[in-house]
């Protein structure tokens, strides 16, 4: 299972939000390129970048910072935030981004998702951000009536390479992942699922190993890396040595749904 460091960009800075609230942005570093190099040097096999300004604006904003990160590190990078048309998605892929993450368009323009999956196989990922089980869009500023589980099934059928599932109520809170919701979503699709939101300790990451047989292939970690609650090298070592068979079947099932 991959442990994927998150770099959230706001006005060119590396920040973390609390439950997606732009008014509760905490700056951790003014130099996102240095942060990317740090995670790569510590063994990260992939980086997750979110253009927060882009998510709000509806088009990529922090392109210069993203390009600088792509040039600075030799690990695959996935990018999301404001990608709502073919041109912007294709432009990021041309820069050297390995995978782009579509969010709002998965709800509003599923035909575009289908077309992009066909044009760029294995490079299109759908991010499903849920608030009380329903999909949030437009930088988490709006909540639709679409159920996360139903959207996941639809996107898997369209050919997405993976699904990133974020429980907004857990994001940035260090309260642990929503294991019940992850289990339900992963059980209903045949593509890899990457967990996001709430990772606070290595124990949280180990709890996800119990869901690995269902297709949970990775975990995105943000605030806990920046606060030091999770040390990346230790997390990589622990997850690499762990086996889901060694995790008790009820491990972590007390997490709130």
The CA-based dihedral angle spanning residues 207, 208, 210, 213, taken in that order and rounded to the nearest 10 degrees: -170
Tokens at 16, concatenated: 């973390």
The residue with tokens 């990457």 is 194
Please tell me the predicted confidence (pLDDT) of residue 249. 45
129 is catalytic: yes
Model pTM score: 0.88
pLDDT digits (tens, 9 = 90+) for 225-251: 999 999 999 999 999 865 444 444 444
**Active-site hit among 8, 53, 167, 171:** 8
In the chain the domains, ranked by start, together with CATH numbers, are 2-246 (3.20.20.70)
Catalytic residue among 21, 51, 74, 129: 129
How far is CA 69 from each of CA 75, 79, 128, rounded to the nearest angstrom?
A: 10, 11, 24
Q: Are strands 77-80 and 13-18 parallel, antiparallel or unpaired?
A: unpaired
For 41, residues 6+ apart whose C-beta sits below 8 A from its C-beta are none
Is 234 in contact with 197 (CB distance < 8 Å)?
Answer: no
Chain segment 209-229, per-residue pLDDT in tens? 989 999 999 999 999 999 999
The answer to whether residue 8 is catalytic is yes
Mean pLDDT across 69-92: 96
pLDDT tier for residue 173 given thresholds of 50, 70 and 90: low
Question: Is the pLDDT confidence value at 143 over 90?
Answer: no
Task: Report whether pLDDT(82) > 60.
Answer: yes
DSSP E strands, the chain? 2-10, 13-18, 21-29, 47-51, 77-80, 99-102, 124-131, 134-137, 142-147, 162-167, 193-196, 216-221
What is the pLDDT averaged over residues 21-40?
88
- Identify the residue with better confidence: 79 or 245: 79
The crossing angle, in degrees rounded to 10, of helices 179-187 and 148-158 is 40
């Amino acid at each position: 299972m991959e442990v994927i460091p998150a770099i959230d960009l706001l006005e060119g800075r590396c920040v973390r939000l609390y439950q997606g609230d732009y008014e509760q942005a905490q700056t951790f570093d003014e130099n996102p390129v240095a942060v990317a190099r740090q995670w790569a040097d510590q063994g990260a096999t992939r980086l997750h970048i979110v253009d927060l300004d882009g998510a709000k604006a509806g088009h990529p904003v922090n392109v210069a910072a993203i390009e600088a990160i792509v040039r600075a590190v030799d690990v695959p990078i996935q990018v999301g935030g404001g990608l709502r048309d073919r041109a912007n998605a294709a432009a990021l892929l041309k820069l050297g981004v390995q995978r782009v993450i579509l969010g709002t368009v998965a709800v509003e323009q599923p035909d575009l998702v289908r077309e992009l999956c066909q044009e760029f196989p294995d490079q299109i990922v759908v991010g499903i951000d849920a608030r009380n089980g329903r999909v949030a869009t437009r930088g988490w500023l709006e909540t639709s009536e679409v159920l996360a589980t139903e959207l996941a099934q639809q996107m898997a059928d369209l050919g997405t390479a993976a699904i990133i599932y974020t429980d907004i109520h857990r994001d940035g809170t260090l309260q642990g992942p929503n294991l019940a919701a992850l289990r339900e979503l992963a059980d209903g699709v045949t593509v890899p699922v990457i967990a996001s939101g709430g990772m606070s300790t290595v124990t949280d990451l180990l709890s996800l190993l119990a869901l690995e047989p269902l297709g949970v292939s990775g975990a995105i970690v943000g605030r806990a890396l920046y606060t030091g609650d999770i040390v990346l090298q230790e997390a990589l070592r622990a997850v690499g040595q762990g086996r889901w068979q060694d995790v008790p079947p009820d491990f972590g099932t007390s997490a709130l749904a």
